[in-house]
């Protein structure tokens, strides 16, 4: 908590408190109104994992979401999804007390975005500082950067290509993945093969691209769907 206050002290002098600056809480309220208008949805997703030491073809699944925090994936294939980005971070932040600071605007893909720093004030929040880039026309999040307590920083970029739909059509999660120690000798040949240690050890940066299509929004998804087998 001390760190957060120190951060605030450092940050505040640079934040212009002029009357022309948009109110960050009002921006977040507009965002909430748009996002929370979606009570539930079902969408087809395509997952592409881009982590140096993981080879995986593009995978397909169906995702189900229902407010406030129910998420379910169904697929005939084995799928891997980054925990960061699919753990209801927005709800977690917005449902707890937080401080929001408007820090100006930045261009993303040639479009000006509001930049808002969010400091969760809840009890031991997992995310200690989040930065949200919000489209001033649509009030939808185009990028988030989250600094977590013990899992590094992750960035999520969102693309919205379906007019009238408040949900992204593409999401790119960039994250740090800690040292991995998979028992190499357990499966597979190692003799005669060069083990690229740099691919297996140390902090790696990974990206997961998720493309969404065929949204079915607010169609009252049955709760039973979420009660089936949980992820490992």
Partner 1 sequence: MLKLINIELYKIFTQKRSYIGLAAILVIVLVAQGAMLWEGQAMHEFITKNLSDAFFMYGNLVNGYLISFLVLNFLWVHVPLLVVIVTGDIFSGEAQSGTFRLLLTRPVSRSGLVTAKFIAGIVYTFVLMIFFAIISLGISLIWFGKGDLMVIFNSVSILPEDDLLWRFILAYVYGFIGMTAIAALSMLFSAMANNSLGPILTTMAIIILFTMISSFNLSIFAAIQPFLITSYLDSWQLVFSFEVDTGQIIFDASVLLLHILVFYFITLVYFNRKDILT
Stretch of 23-31, 116-124, 125-133, 177-185 contacting partner 1, by CB under 8 A: 177-185
Instruction: Match 């992204």 to its residue by tokens.
Output: 168
* Nearer to partner 1 (CB atom), residue 9 or residue 193: 193
User: Does residue 8 interact with partner 1 by CB under 8 A?
Assistant: no
Stretch of 6-14, 104-112, 141-149, 188-196 contacting partner 1, by CB under 8 A: 188-196
Strand partners, 45: 61, 212
Distance of CA 212 to the CA centre of its chain: 14
User: Does residue 53 interact with partner 1 by CB under 8 A?
Assistant: yes
User: Does residue 149 interact with partner 1 by CB under 8 A?
Assistant: no
Residue (of 90, 209, 80) closest to 146 by Cα position = 90
User: Does residue 181 interact with partner 1 by CB under 8 A?
Assistant: yes
**Rounded Cα–Cα distance for residues 103 and 21 (Å):** 9
**Rounded Cα–Cα distance for residues 40 and 65 (Å):** 5
The single residue among 73, 98, 209, 226 that binds partner 1, judged by CB under 8 A, is 73
Please state the closest distance from residue 216 (CB atom) to partner 1, in A.
Answer: 20
Q: What token pair was written down for 93?
A: 């932040």
The single residue among 17, 164, 195, 203 that binds partner 1, judged by CB under 8 A, is 195
User: Does residue 201 interact with partner 1 by CB under 8 A?
Assistant: no
User: Does residue 100 interact with partner 1 by CB under 8 A?
Assistant: no
Distance of CA 147 to the CA centre of its chain: 11
**Rounded Cα–Cα distance for residues 20 and 17 (Å):** 8
CA geometry: angle at 64 spanning 61 and 66, to 5°?
A: 165
Strand partners, 177: 204
User: Does residue 122 interact with partner 1 by CB under 8 A?
Assistant: no
What value does the CA radius of gyration of the chain take, rounded to a whole number of Å? 20
* Nearer to partner 1 (CB atom), residue 73 or residue 98: 73
Please state the closest distance from residue 174 (CB atom) to partner 1, in A.
Answer: 12
* Binding residues vs partner 1 (CB under 8 A): 52-57, 61, 73, 75, 77-84, 86, 175, 177-184, 186-196, 199-200, 206, 231-232
């Amino acid at each position: 908590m001390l760190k957060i206050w120190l951060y605030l002290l450092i940050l505040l002098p640079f934040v212009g408190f002029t009357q022309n600056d948009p109110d960050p809480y009002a921006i977040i309220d507009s965002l909430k109104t748009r996002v929370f208008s979606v009570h539930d949805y079902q969408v087809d997703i395509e997952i592409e994992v881009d982590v140096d030491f993981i080879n995986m073809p593009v995978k397909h699944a169906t995702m189900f979401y229902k407010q406030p925090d129910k998420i379910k994936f169904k697929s005939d294939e084995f799928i891997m999804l980054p925990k960061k980005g699919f753990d209801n971070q927005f709800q977690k932040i917005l449902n707890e007390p937080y401080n929001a600071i408007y820090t100006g605007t930045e261009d993303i893909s040639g479009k000006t975005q509001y930049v808002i720093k969010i400091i969760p004030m809840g009890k031991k929040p997992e995310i200690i500082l989040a930065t949200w880039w919000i489209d001033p026309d649509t009030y939808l999040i185009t990028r988030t950067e989250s600094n977590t307590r013990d899992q590094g920083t992750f960035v999520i970029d969102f693309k919205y290509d379906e007019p009238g739909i408040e949900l992204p059509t593409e999401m790119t999660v960039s994250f740090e993945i800690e040292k991995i120690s998979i028992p190499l000798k357990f499966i597979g040949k190692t003799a005669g093969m060069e083990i690229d240690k740099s691919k297996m050890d140390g902090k790696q940066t990974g990206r997961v691209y998720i493309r969404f299509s065929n949204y079915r929004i607010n169609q009252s998804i049955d709760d039973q769907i979420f009660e089936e087998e949980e992820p490992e």
